[in-house]
A and B are shown apart, each in its own frame.
Chain A
Amino acid sequence: MYLRDPANYVSPRAVAYWTVRAVPLWVLVLAGESLWLWSARDRVRLPVAVLALTVLCAAAHLIVMPRWRYRVHRWELTATAVYTQAGWISQERRIAPISRVQTVDTERGPLEQLFQLANVTVTTASAAGPLRIQGLDRAMAEALVAELTEITGQSRGDAT
């Protein structure tokens, strides 16, 4: 017996979004190391080696991470449950019954707006279990929220 992956992928544009989102951190690290190189004057062997290593790591991270994430980040909505999967090195699957859903939010950060993406967050009464779907196509997110609202509207109870 095993748990299959959720059916739907997020938008392919999410790959570019995750790449761009990871760039600033590496720029910051590289800037710090360049400063070190600049101030080291004649003993440059160590700073240059560290800098080269960092560039390699950054390149590997920026190439591998978004593509890996794209294969992992998935979601599915059925008549009874919401099912999401996220992460890359560490992965997490979350399942919540529709009857326990309390709120459905969409949000778009500035970077996400640039890529026409949106996040959908489905919360339950537990502080431990919000289901977050990152990098959805904006139209898809709106459709998903509409569908969720309609399904949750039919279930009763106070969802605790």
Chain B
Amino acid sequence: MLLVHPVRELGQAIPALVGLVLAGRAVGDGQMWWLGPLGVVVVIAWSVLRWMTTRYRITPEQVQLRTGLLQRKTIATPADRVRSVDVTASALHRLLGLAKVDIGTGSHDPGSGLSLDSLPVAEAAGLRAELLHRSASASARTDVADAVSATPGGTAAAAGPVPEATVPAEHEIELARMDFRWVRFAPFTMSGVLGAAAVLALGSRLLDQAGVSAGDVGPLRDGFGYLQRTPIWLDLLLGLAALLVFVTVLSVGGYVLSYWGFRLLRHPHGTLHVSRGLVTTRATSIEERRLRGVELTEPLLLRAVKAARLGGITTGLAAKGSSDGGSSLLLPPAPRAVASDVAARILRDPTPVDAVLTAHGPAARRRRYIRALLASLVLITAAGVAIVWGAPLWLAAAAALTVPVALMLAADRYRSLGHAVAGSVLVTRAGTLARRRDMLECDGIIGWNLRQTLFQRRAGLATLTATTAAGRQRYDVTDVPLSLALPLANRALPGLLGDFLVP
């Protein structure tokens, strides 16, 4: 507990400390050698002080965090505003039996949430249960009214009731648990490719910075020599194989690191718990009343091996504009059948998952083909111009090859398009490279946008957008015929369009 802060802050201060050491060396004949050690001592003292001056306190109405020695700061959040409680433990935390608790209030300003670092694991888990149930069940139990107040990681047992004792152990239902065999989907995610690119970029940068040419490194030089002696097709094959192995290892490693021990639990108080991670463990909780639906994502590669992953459409969980569009992980890449099953259990209704989607018709299909072929036409024209200017002829063949690819893409893009209202859920699906089936509860829809470009108007199509306060904020039904869009909107949200519809 006392160790986490100093170690991490020393880590963060390394550049400054190195600077100090160098400065100490540079001045005079090294008489200032004590600058470096002094820096280390100051950083340690500073972080210990911070630890000593941090207090948290939970009353039935409020969660309070007080920090600072010279500049006292108190952050208070009404307990019923707590929307998410995440418990994270890095390797260092776990070694010491500690965890970090992040309390999210659904506000999009950074720094408005509370973060309690270095609590004992049991206390963190108890705190999470306590906070979530307090906000979930409006009847805040008054028998824990005497505040739990302690130094983080300090004397919790002495200062207040042991949190775990105040939360009755209740029956949790397991919705999903990671199966070791799911790791086989890891190579079909983009994480391995991205990871490999990052590693290669970093490696070349390091070599570059160190002023070493890749040819100077012994093993690499031997490798280059070998490559020069062998035919080029063998080199290409070997390179490809090596890259494939590299990417696979990275993606499998990434999958295991982030999703090992994945479990999705439903707590009877109305929360979903996600816990996962091999080295750094994370536990996230989502209140079900803030869950407006589920996204089932099937990127092209995952679709090829019949796999999918699930995200939640929640209000006030992730910041707007974050990379995942404010959706929260509910299931890592897993067999498609498992994903469907889990989605049905989360929604408590299998119909949105099983519903056969209404296709968008010939006009939408034509639009897919025209768009794909136009892109290919642009490429062919560009290749033609380049050849006139003296580019090699094979460019024309390459450009012509884009036509069958475009045709395949268009056919698949059309196959993906579809919508339905199943039960009380709006279902919409689109996309090829990242096909997504959005299942949004109609209660969560807070308006409609109906957009028509000139070409869409001529084809009698429109893009119907359900706006919502959750997840991506907008869920599109793309290129749907007007004759289907209006009944769809009317069925999903009865009454809203009523005044404006003319039979």
CB of B108, distance to nearest CB on chain A (Å) = 10
Q: Is A127 interfacial (CB-CB < 8 Å)?
A: yes
Number of interface residues of B (CB under 8 A): 32
Q: Is B446 interfacial (CB-CB < 8 Å)?
A: yes
Residues in B whose Cβ lies below 8 Å from that of A83: 499-500
Residues in A whose Cβ lies below 8 Å from that of B501: 1-4
Q: Is B22 interfacial (CB-CB < 8 Å)?
A: no
Stretch in A20-28, A87-95, A139-147 with 4+ CB within 8 Å of B: A87-95
Given contacts A2-B486, A160-B469, contact A124 B447 (CB under 8 A): yes
B465 near A128: Cβ-Cβ < 8 Å: yes
Q: Is B320 interfacial (CB-CB < 8 Å)?
A: yes
Q: Is A129 interfacial (CB-CB < 8 Å)?
A: yes
Q: Is B503 interfacial (CB-CB < 8 Å)?
A: yes
A126 near B451: Cβ-Cβ < 8 Å: no
Residues in B whose Cβ lies below 8 Å from that of A160: 315, 446, 469-470
Given contacts A89-B454, A126-B474, contact A97 B447 (CB under 8 A): yes
Residues in A whose Cβ lies below 8 Å from that of B496: 80-81, 95, 97
Question: Which B residues from 477 to 503 make CB contacts under 8 A with A?
Answer: 482-483, 486-487, 493, 495-497, 499-503
Q: Is A154 interfacial (CB-CB < 8 Å)?
A: no
Chain A residue at smallest Cβ distance from B493: A97
A91 near B457: Cβ-Cβ < 8 Å: yes
Q: Is B402 interfacial (CB-CB < 8 Å)?
A: no
Tier of interface size on chain A: 20 to 34
Q: Is B230 interfacial (CB-CB < 8 Å)?
A: no
- Roughly how many angstroms separate A96 CA and B468 CA in the complex, as a whole number? 11
Q: Is B112 interfacial (CB-CB < 8 Å)?
A: no
Question: Which A residues from 111 to 135 make CB contacts under 8 A with B?
Answer: 124-129, 131
- Roughly how many angstroms separate A81 CA and B498 CA in the complex, as a whole number? 10
Count A-B contacts at CB 8 Å.
104
CB of A53, distance to nearest CB on chain B (Å) = 21
A129 near B447: Cβ-Cβ < 8 Å: yes
- Roughly how many angstroms separate A67 CA and B493 CA in the complex, as a whole number? 34
Question: Which B residues from 447 to 477 make CB contacts under 8 A with A?
Answer: 447-454, 457, 465, 467-470, 473-474
Q: Is A69 interfacial (CB-CB < 8 Å)?
A: no
- Roughly how many angstroms separate A126 CA and B475 CA in the complex, as a whole number? 11
B467 near A128: Cβ-Cβ < 8 Å: yes
Given contacts A2-B501, A124-B467, A128-B474, contact A93 B486 (CB under 8 A): no
Question: A3, A91, A159: which contacts B500 (Cβ < 8 A)?
Answer: A3
Q: Is A73 interfacial (CB-CB < 8 Å)?
A: no
B450 near A126: Cβ-Cβ < 8 Å: no
Q: Could you name 13 residue pairs across A and B whose Cβ atoms are closer than 8 Å?
A: A1-B503, A3-B502, A80-B495, A91-B452, A94-B447, A95-B450, A97-B446, A97-B496, A100-B446, A127-B474, A129-B447, A129-B449, A160-B446
A76-B500, A89-B453, A124-B447 given; name 12 further pairs at CB < 8 Å.
A1-B502, A2-B486, A3-B450, A3-B497, A3-B502, A80-B495, A92-B452, A125-B446, A126-B474, A128-B465, A129-B449, A160-B446
Which A residues are within 8 Å of any B CB, using their own CB? 1-4, 6, 76, 78, 80-81, 83, 89-97, 100, 124-129, 131, 159-160
Which B residues are within 8 Å of any A CB, using their own CB? 315, 320, 446-454, 457, 465, 467-470, 473-474, 482-483, 486-487, 493, 495-497, 499-503
